[in-house]
Structure 1
């Protein structure tokens, strides 16, 4: 990567940083409702090689891009000033400046093996890699959690995507061999052991190849519905509705908001049950919780798609202990908890079902809980 940086920019980088993509085991769409989530970081990561500049220019190049260099003055950064993939790293530099941190110009070369459009949070990985690189280069007194909040601000205000903070917190704060039990209201968190191999299990990721883009308005519409429901119920957020009070509360809502509230409240409860099982070391019992979560995403939140539904159904039929869509929805990936000896069988069954349905073959890989954002050298 250093050689490629020098080829593009004509000098050696100061260092190389990485930040991972993520899958969320359970808790989808509770992050912007101040709820609980349980993600793991993927081994797949965005890497960035960086060298500071003294002329105030920010130059961005991606190995996965179209070969063009984005060149913009840091002083000119503002929402709408940069388009496409480059808006994510540029937005982080902008957010750092808005928070009062002087970061200056830099050359940045990106390389990534996080699948884009697969609901695996490639955008948050891009943001967090830039955030930790700038923190380290400029000696900024910021924790990884504080960097995650700034990365979220970049995506919300600079890029214009109203995401919650889960993706950035997962990319910045996960540790190897653990899932991150995160309270998105106060960012309190705990690392929960998640070493599936010790119990003969694997987490199979099934990329449906259906393009996932939460910037297209669908995600925002769902979020707006949740916020409107909280307002009708007189709550700061749907997180504040106890599961025991769900049914009476649903009678006070317009019909179109009922399924949204039901999903958020029951999903929060599923996160708490999942954490309790992992704490007990009963990883296999997580399977039915995953499947129940997908049914709620499909029937109440209505953010799945035909390919995701087929992947879940076929995976469970072929021997997975449970499966669900992960990511913002409307495409992306499915995760399946699978006994190691059945992983190949489950993958083949899903692929065969996709072919019968006339869909493109899914991409398959197994995921382990990896380290969060860090300097590589």
Structure 2
């Protein structure tokens, strides 16, 4: 966890707010998707890793059916809700993430009564680093333990996804929750989104003298709106016209035929998914064989595909990628759903200051808002921390 995510701080903040000590503090990390963008809901392959920034929840159970929730970043103060009156239509704002998980668990028969909850997160919101999934996974992990529900990690992944889909209204796949729940220190999670099978892939950046630099462009995005849903609809149309269950069933050899069957825009959307799936498989093979220093070209090719075929980049993301590459990055790409958020660059540790300074200068010259730039490393998944 990030040094700024102090369990004692979270517990003390809970006690200051509610006048009691919590039953415990649970945390779940955000994630960087190393490669494999928009492939998850197409039943394809992804390769995320958990980062050392996380959401933490302190929780104490109480009598009755009333829940009280407060966050370190919310301006609403304490939000009070009657759990027995929860429905998909009654949850909004930041509380939709924890309450959505509670609603899903209750729908599944997990008996959750009243509780107090304090949320603190070090995952930037709207940066494409899965701040929402971090909250969902921290809450799901907490109540799974508090209520003795006995749900597996894969079941908790689906709890978080269902909360995101049915309550928040974002048509996301299982990538974010899988990264937050299944990750271990020093590894990425190779995930087959059709079977939900996963394996840990070594990603020992430190041993290779490398790091992942995140450039949060400050261009915020929201999965529940426009562009993300439109891309998903294009993929579904492509699969329907091609007569396959999902674009997972199309490979590079099938692209020439697809070009003759699809309109030009839909074909480009399909081509991104097909080639991105192959890039994920290639990245896993290269990491196993040659290590992280050899994957840069695959990361950069992924960005070009997202920029040109899927059209989910933006000028700020492109500038971050191009500037990092021009100043020594081995590879760079946007990460997350797109239309803003963050870019990542794989760089030698010794280049961190120079690359960061170059990106800041490029953004200033372009008249863009100054980005947040920070290094991340593969971190452990969701767990009780106090």
Matched, 1:47 2:56: yes
What is the match of residue 151 of structure 1? 160
Task: Summarize deviations over 1:234-282 as a string: whole Å, max 9, x none.
Answer: 1111011122212212211122201100000000000000000111133
Q: TM-score, normalised by structure 2?
A: 0.96
What is the match of residue 5 of structure 2? none
Q: Distance in 2 between matches of 1:238 and 1:341?
A: 40
Correspondences of 1:20-169 after superposition (within 5 Å): 20-169=29-178
Q: Distance in 2 between matches of 1:83 and 1:98?
A: 18
Q: Distance in 2 between matches of 1:333 and 1:354?
A: 14
Instruction: Indicate the SS of the match to 2:125.
Output: coil
Structure 2: give runs of 5+ residues left out of the alignment. Answer: 1-9
Instruction: Indicate the SS of the match to 2:261.
Output: coil
Correspondences of 1:235-254 after superposition (within 5 Å): 235-254=244-263
Instruction: Indicate the SS of the match to 2:144.
Output: helix
Q: Distance in 1 between matches of 2:53 and 2:27?
A: 10
What is the match of residue 212 of structure 2? 203
1:217 positional shift: 2.0
Asked if structure 2 preserves the Cα contact closer than 8 Å seen for 1:250 and 1:261, the reply is no
Task: Summarize deviations over 1:23-49 as a string: whole Å, max 9, x none.
Answer: 000001000000000000010000100
What is the match of residue 170 of structure 1? 179
What is the match of residue 6 of structure 1? 15
Matched, 1:334 2:343: yes
What is the match of residue 7 of structure 2? none
Q: Distance in 1 between matches of 2:113 and 2:219?
A: 38
Structure 1: give runs of 5+ residues left out of the alignment. Answer: none
What is the match of residue 276 of structure 1? 285
Asked if structure 1 preserves the Cα contact closer than 8 Å seen for 2:212 and 2:345, the reply is yes
Matched, 1:233 2:207: no
Q: Distance in 1 between matches of 2:107 and 2:255?
A: 40
Q: Distance in 2 between matches of 1:36 and 1:321?
A: 23
1:67 positional shift: 4.5
1:166 positional shift: 0.3
Asked if structure 1 preserves the Cα contact closer than 8 Å seen for 2:27 and 2:54, the reply is yes
Asked if structure 1 preserves the Cα contact closer than 8 Å seen for 2:248 and 2:274, the reply is yes
What is the match of residue 371 of structure 1? 380
Single out whichever of 32-41 and 60-69 deviates more from structure 2: 60-69
Correspondences of 1:316-335 after superposition (within 5 Å): 316-335=325-344
Number of residue pairs the alignment of both structures matches: 377
Instruction: Supply the RMSD in Å over aligned alpha carbons.
Output: 0.9
Q: Distance in 2 between matches of 1:290 and 1:177?
A: 19
Q: Distance in 2 between matches of 1:286 and 1:237?
A: 27
Task: Summarize deviations over 1:290-321 as a string: whole Å, max 9, x none.
Answer: 10000000000000000000000010001101
For 1:191, which of 191, 200, 206 is the aligned residue? 200
